[in-house]
């Protein structure tokens, strides 16, 4: 099977500039790249589609290149944003760049990393305008959807120039790294075609082998944006989103969403996915597809050892045996719980309301009456306890359990 057929059955091609060139690039084991701008110190699950796309191309014999935009990150992509990005300091960009490069290296083995600041940073303004700017017609740029949609609301020349910078990135990699394919989300189509058109203008329309491929935006079945929860983004950095919460995020997807995501985001083949979906339909309560999705992605991002820990924590949380886990796992569990800081002279009741374990003292009394709330594995029997009356665990922690599987942490300061 070719990479083209692989992407087609998975529904992973939104637009492609030239299918024949893609197949030729595969035959010649050319390079493929996609870019990640260092706008934060971690990538999130919204980036997983592109990370996994690089791995797919690598598995089909392409040389995969991850371009972390140390240069373009200083500008900001205007694509369909309602206002200008806030420019980051050089220090913050460097911190983000180093964090993302380290993160990607831990996830994808055998991928080459590039920083476009290495070549964009060498241009003077005059040089860039002479060597690159002269090849871009203003009317051509104004027809780019990402630019046209911003003209009425305001667009600085800084962001207006972004598509030229990205086009030059593709040209630089095309000439120096035999990179024939650029990948991007569907909102990047204008930038990708700027690159293929620019390369065509430089090497000749009859000689160019450049191809751009966009993938669909990852949306939920209801059309809402994927990767956001009530508590915020789901990060790939375990210090920002715990491995347990990452695992649970995938485990809690709906049947419809999980059946789409397992095609988009895992390496199960077509027959394996059909069997998983069929098994799931016969035993929906066992959530076979969600479990396969959660295990595959947690292993891909965090590794088998962290996946095993997440599964043990899941068993501990949902079977009520968290205090039977070893100390290191309980410490990991604590990182996954809603937590607040409290003082010794505070009442436990007020602290439980503050951490949102209960809504009111009246509700707390109902939980106490039904013996449904505990602290450090001790059933709570009265509401007038002070934090000082409770012996903490792990030096300064109080673990609250409400019902069968809701946990909270009070950290004594």
pLDDT in tens, 55-113: 999 999 999 999 998 888 777 655 545 555 567 788 888 899 899 999 999 999 889 99
Q: Tell me if residue 89 is catalytic.
A: no
Q: Tell me if residue 371 is catalytic.
A: no
pLDDT: is 373 or 332 the higher one?
373
Residues making up the annotated binding site are: 33, 162, 166, 228
Lowest mean pLDDT across 219-228, 284-293, 295-304 = 219-228
Residue from 85, 95, 365, 397 carrying the catalytic annotation = 85
What average pLDDT does the chain have?
Answer: 88
Q: Categorize the per-residue pLDDT at 250 as very low, low, confident or very high, splitting at 50, 70 and 90.
A: very high
Q: Tens of pLDDT along 173-205? A: 999 999 999 999 988 898 899 999 999 999 999
Q: How far is CA 338 from CA 179, 252, 347, 356, 387, in A?
A: 46, 18, 18, 9, 17
- Closest by CA position to 144, among listed 205, 198, 78: 78
The whole domain housing 362 covers 337-412
Q: Tell me if residue 47 is catalytic.
A: yes
Instruction: Say what the alpha-carbon torsion angle 122, 213, 219, 105 is, to the nearest 10 degrees.
Output: -50
Tell me the mean pLDDT in the region 45-51.
93
Tell me the mean pLDDT in the region 331-339.
83
How many CB atoms neighbour CB 144 within 10 A? 19
pTM of the model: 0.84
Q: Above 60 in pLDDT, residue 230?
A: no
How many CB atoms neighbour CB 271 within 10 A? 8
Helices 288-302 and 48-59 pack at an angle, to 10 degrees, of 80
Quote the pLDDT of residue 323. Answer: 77
**Do 343 and 298 share a domain, yes or no?**
no
Answer yes or no: is 316 within a domain. yes
Q: Categorize the per-residue pLDDT at 229 as very low, low, confident or very high, splitting at 50, 70 and 90.
A: low
Report d(CA 289, CA 277) in Å as an integer.
Answer: 6
Q: Above 80 in pLDDT, residue 149?
A: no
Residue from 17, 72, 163, 166 carrying the catalytic annotation = 166
Report d(CA 249, CA 229) in Å as an integer.
Answer: 9
Lowest mean pLDDT across 26-30, 72-76, 245-249, 381-385 = 72-76
Answer yes or no: is 253 within a domain. yes
Measure the CA angle with vertex 290, ends 258 and 53; round to 5°.
55
Answer yes or no: is 223 within a domain. no
Residues making up the annotated binding site for L-tyrosine are: 33, 162, 166
* CATH number (domain holding residue 189): 3.40.50.620
Residues making up the annotated binding site for ATP are: 228
Indicate the residue among 215, 246, 281 that finishes a domain.
215
**Do 155 and 10 share a domain, yes or no?**
yes
* CATH number (domain holding residue 325): 1.10.240.10
Q: Tell me if residue 39 is catalytic.
A: yes
Tokens linked to 19 = 């299918």
**Do 345 and 324 share a domain, yes or no?**
no
Residue from 228, 263, 354, 365 carrying the catalytic annotation = 228
């Amino acid at each position: 099977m070719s990479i083209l057929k692989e992407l087609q059955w998975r529904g992973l091609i939104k637009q492609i500039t030239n299918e024949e060139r893609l197949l030729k690039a595969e035959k010649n084991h050319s390079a493929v790249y996609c870019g990640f701008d260092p706008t934060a110190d971690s990538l999130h699950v919204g980036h997983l589609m592109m990370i996994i796309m690089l791995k797919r191309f690598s598995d089909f014999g392409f040389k995969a290149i991850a371009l972390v935009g140390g240069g373009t990150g200083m500008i900001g992509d205007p694509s369909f944003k309602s206002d200008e990005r806030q420019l980051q300091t050089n220090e913050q960009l460097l911190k983000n760049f180093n964090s993302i490069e380290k993160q990607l290296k831990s996830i994808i083995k055998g991928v080459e990393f590039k920083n476009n600041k290495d070549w964009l940073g060498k241009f003077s303004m005059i040089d860039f305008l002479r060597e690159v700017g002269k090849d871009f017609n203003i009317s051509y740029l104004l027809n780019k959807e990402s630019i046209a949609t911003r003209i009425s609301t305001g667009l600085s020349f800084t962001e207006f120039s972004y598509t030229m910078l990205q086009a030059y990135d593709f040209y630089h990699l095309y000439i120096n790294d035999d990179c024939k394919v650029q990948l991007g989300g569907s909102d990047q189509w204008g930038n990708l075609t700027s690159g293929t058109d620019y390369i065509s203008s430089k090497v000749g329309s009859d000689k160019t082998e450049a191809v751009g491929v966009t993938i669909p935006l990852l949306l939920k079945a209801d059309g809402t944006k994927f990767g956001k929860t009530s508590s915020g983004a789901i990060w790939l950095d375990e210090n920002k989103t715990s491995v347990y919460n990452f695992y649970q995020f995938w485990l809690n997807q709906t049947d419809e969403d999980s059946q789409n995501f397992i095609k988009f985001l895992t390496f199960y083949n077509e027959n394996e996915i059909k069997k998983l979906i069929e098994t799931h339909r016969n035993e929906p309560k066992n959530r076979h597809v969600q479990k396969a999705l959660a295990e595959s992605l947690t292993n891909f991002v965090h590794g088998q050892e962290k996946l095993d820990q997440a599964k043990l924590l899941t068993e501990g949380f949902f079977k009520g045996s968290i205090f039977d886990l070893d100390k290191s796992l309980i410490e990991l569990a604590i990182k996954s719980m809603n937590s607040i800081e409290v003082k010794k002279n505070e009442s436990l009741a007020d602290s439980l309301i503050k951490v949102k374990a209960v809504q009111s003292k009246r509700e707390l009394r109902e939980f106490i009456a039904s013996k449904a709330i505990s602290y450090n594995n001790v059933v709570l029997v009265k509401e007038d306890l002070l934090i000082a009356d409770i012996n903490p665990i792990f030096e300064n922690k109080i673990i609250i359990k409400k019902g069968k599987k809701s946990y909270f942490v009070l950290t004594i300061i």
